[in-house]
Amino acid sequence: MKTGVGLFASSMLFAVVTAIVYGFATRDVVGVMLLGMTSLALFVIALYIRVAEGESGLRADDPASSPADGAGDVVGTFALESYWPAAAALCVGLGIAGITFLPGLSSAMLLVALVAGALVVRLLVREST
């Protein structure tokens, strides 16, 4: 996953340098904090990719490789059709919108929405992986 690590590590480096230059040029706390937190976020992502995926090579990154070489590879699991995303989005949406009312009411709404959503899905659907 060299590409992934490279992408995020170099972005992190850019953010760090910018934070330093910005800090000296303007002495502004807010900007330094924002750029600093951005660097941290990018660092976490780069670290994750490095630790989780290591240096594993991809067939894609081999310029001489052909699609035929990849025949039989398990590329991934691609879920075909599912009501869960729409139902989950509805629940999350209701829960977030509920914040506009009292916080307590919002939590109650979220719970109700989740239970209702689960029941609806159960009634309607046969799930495919």
Partner 1 sequence: MSAAAELPEAQALVDHGILSWLAATDHKRIGILYISTVFAYFVIAGALALTIRLQLLHAGMTLVGPQAFDQVFTLHGTAMVFLVIAPFGFGLANYLIPLQIGAPDMALPRLNAFSFWLFLFGGLTVFLGAATNGGAGDAGWTAYAPLSTIRVGDGLGQDLWIVGLLMISISTIMTAVNFTTTVLVYRAPGMTMWRMPIFTWEMVATSLLVLVAFPPLTAVLAMLLIDRRLGGHFFDPAMGGSAILYQHLWWFFGHPEVYVMILPFFGIITEVVATFSRKPVFGYTGLVLAAFAIAGLSMTVWAHHMFTTGAVVDPFFSGMSFLIAVPTGVKFFNWIGTMWRGRIRLATPMLFALGFLFNFLLGGVTGVMVASPPIDFQARDSYFLVAHFHYALGGGSLFATFAAIYFWFPKMFGYRLRERLGAWHFWLLLVGFNLTFFPQFLLGMMGMMRRVYTYPAIPAWSQLNALSSLGAAIQFVAVAIFVANLIVSTRKRIPAGDDPWGGYTLEWTTSSPPPELNFERLPPIRSERPAYDLRHAAAEARS
The Cα 89–Cα 77 span in angstroms is 21
CB nearer to partner 1: pick between 69 and 115: 69
The Cα 18–Cα 50 span in angstroms is 24
Handedness of CA 67, 71, 74, 76 (dihedral sign): positive
55 touching partner 1, by CB under 8 A: no
Nearest to 119 by CA among 89, 96, 87: 87
The Cα 93–Cα 95 span in angstroms is 5
Chosen residue from 48, 54, 57, 99 binding partner 1 by CB under 8 A: 99
Spatial contact of 24 and 51, defined as CB atoms under 8 Å apart: no
Taking the complex as a whole, the smallest distance from the CB of residue 115 to partner 1 amounts, in Å, to 19
Chosen residue from 9, 16, 36, 38 binding partner 1 by CB under 8 A: 38
Chosen residue from 64, 104, 122, 123 binding partner 1 by CB under 8 A: 64
Residues that bind partner 1 (CB under 8 A): 1, 3-4, 7, 11, 14-15, 18, 22, 25-28, 30-31, 34-35, 38, 41-42, 45, 49, 58-67, 69-76, 78-86, 88-90, 92-93, 96-97, 99-100, 103, 125-126, 128-129
